[in-house]
């Protein structure tokens, strides 16, 4: 098994470490590879799209020819997790602000996103989030977090803050507005890996 982490920008090494811990805790071996260029995504069995800056990430994914490989991977049903900026990139649609900036989206999840859903007062915060696949709350770290403002019928909402969806899944796709790679608790990565094994 091979798990890819898109390594164009953002918190890549934190995701690699979190995946390694989650694999150890699940007692499963797998290779973890970082991806900067075309040609590696098709060799992966699962993929992580980290946080960062979604405009830059989207532009570079297209320029490097990786965006189409991710769309193809999605069509083949392999698990893909997008965190923070990754949640934005998975979306099929952006709100007005996203559209104005001509943001490139992968368009593979039936969601409409707000890039900076929590405004200035709450730029960064931590909160105990209930997630239906965990038996106790998860300390979720939000940094200039996006949110999902609308979901299609096939999307399962996993968590909300106020009227904003902050965790959702659709088939093989898992989208999180927070940063599970920034805490020692690897239960979210374990849940993602369970889609693979
Ligand atoms: N809001 C940021 C964006 O638009 C994402 C922030 C993050 O990934 N920490 O790209």
Which domains are delineated in the chain?
2-194 (3.40.50.880)
| Residue 181 designated active-site | yes
Residue-wise pLDDT for 29-87, tens only, equals 999 999 999 999 999 999 999 999 999 999 999 999 999 999 999 999 999 999 999 99
Please tell me whether residue 1 adopts helix, strand or coil conformation. Answer: coil
Q: Is 127 in the pocket of ligand 1 (CB under 6 A)?
A: no
Output the 3-class SS for 43-110.
HCCEEEECCCCHHHHHHHHHHCCHHHHHHHHHHCCCCEEEECHHHHHHEEEECHHHHHCCCCCCCCEE
**Annotated catalytic residue, options 44, 74, 84, 189:** 84
Would you list which residues are annotated within the binding site for L-glutamine? 52-54, 115, 143-144
Q: Is 115 in the pocket of ligand 1 (CB under 6 A)?
A: yes
- The reported pLDDT for the residue numbered 151 is 98
- The reported pLDDT for the residue numbered 122 is 78
| Residue 151 designated active-site | no
pTM: 0.97
Residue by residue, pLDDT tens for the chain (197 residues) are: 999 999 999 999 999 999 999 999 999 999 999 999 999 999 999 999 999 999 999 999 999 999 999 999 999 999 999 999 999 999 999 999 889 888 999 999 999 999 999 987 678 999 999 999 999 999 999 999 999 999 999 999 999 999 999 999 999 999 999 999 999 999 999 999 999 98
| Complex-level ipTM | 0.93
């Amino acid at each position: 098994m091979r798990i890819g982490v898109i390594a164009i920008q953002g918190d890549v090494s934190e995701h690699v470490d979190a995946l390694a811990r989650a694999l150890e805790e699940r007692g499963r071996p797998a290779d973890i590879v970082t991806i900067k260029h075309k040609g590696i995504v098709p060799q992966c069995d699962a993929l992580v799209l980290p946080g960062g800056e979604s405009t830059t990430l989207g532009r570079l994914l297209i320029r490097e020819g990786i965006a189409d490989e991710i769309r193809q991977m999605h069509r083949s049903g392999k698990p893909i997790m997008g965190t923070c900026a990754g949640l934005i990139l998975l979306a099929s649609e952006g709100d007005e602000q996203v559209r104005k900036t001509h943001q490139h989206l992968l368009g593979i999840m039936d969601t409409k996103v707000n890039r900076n859903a929590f405004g200035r007062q709450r730029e960064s915060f931590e909160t105990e989030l209930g997630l239906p696949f965990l038996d106790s709350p998860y300390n979720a770290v939000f940094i200039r977090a996006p949110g999902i403002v609308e979901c299609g019928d096939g999307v399962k909402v996993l968590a909300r803050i106020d009227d904003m969806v902050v965790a959702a899944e659709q088939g093989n796709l898992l989208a999180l507005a927070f940063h599970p790679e920034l805490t020692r608790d690897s239960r979210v990565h374990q849940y993602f890996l369970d889609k693979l094994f």
